Amino acid sequence: MGEELKVIVFALANEEYGIEVDKVRTIERMTPITRVPKTPAFIKGVINLRGVVVPVLDLRGRFGLSESEPTDNSRIIIVAVNDLEVGFIVDSANDVIDIDTDSIDSPPEVIGGIKAKYLRGVAKLGENRLLIMLNLAEVLNKNEIIQLEQLED
């Protein structure tokens, strides 16, 4: 058996995804987002989270999926990557589970239209449940991190 990995499970366009709990700061309900000019369309803007300005991305837009209007289930998952806090808009955040690192396979080239570089792998949970593990470092690649850091200034 591999190590146990604690993961936050969230949904995007009928697929389940996972982010390691230790990278997640907090999960927030949708809140008004202040748009920032001259940013890519998937960067929705910034929110004021308890006095801290946090850039917010729409993960659907980031992955090239069709964007949808937020619902009562929509959440902003605040993650920390390299001392930068960023919010991801997701359709819902459902669960915290433990998965065995041995159950994570390398990602296929494309899953649900999402390029493999954004994915860390696919975890098999039971008979027919798959959890797509995100590679946060790629989801926020260096060029975008530079743009996001400029938003915080």
Domains assigned to the chain: 4-152 (2.40.50.180)
**Alpha-carbon radius of gyration of the chain:** 15
Query: What's at 2, amino acid-wise?
Result: G
Of 67 and 16, more confident: 16
Residue-level pLDDT at 14 = 87
> Following DSSP, what letter does each residue of 39-79 receive, concatenated?
S-TTEEEEEEETTEEEEEEEHHHHTTPPP----TT-EEEEE
Does the pLDDT of residue 43 top 70, yes or no? yes
- Closest to 13 in 3D by CA, of 71, 93, 67: 67
Residue-level pLDDT at 140 = 77
pTM of the model as a whole: 0.86
Interval 62-78: pLDDT, tens: 888 888 889 999 999 99
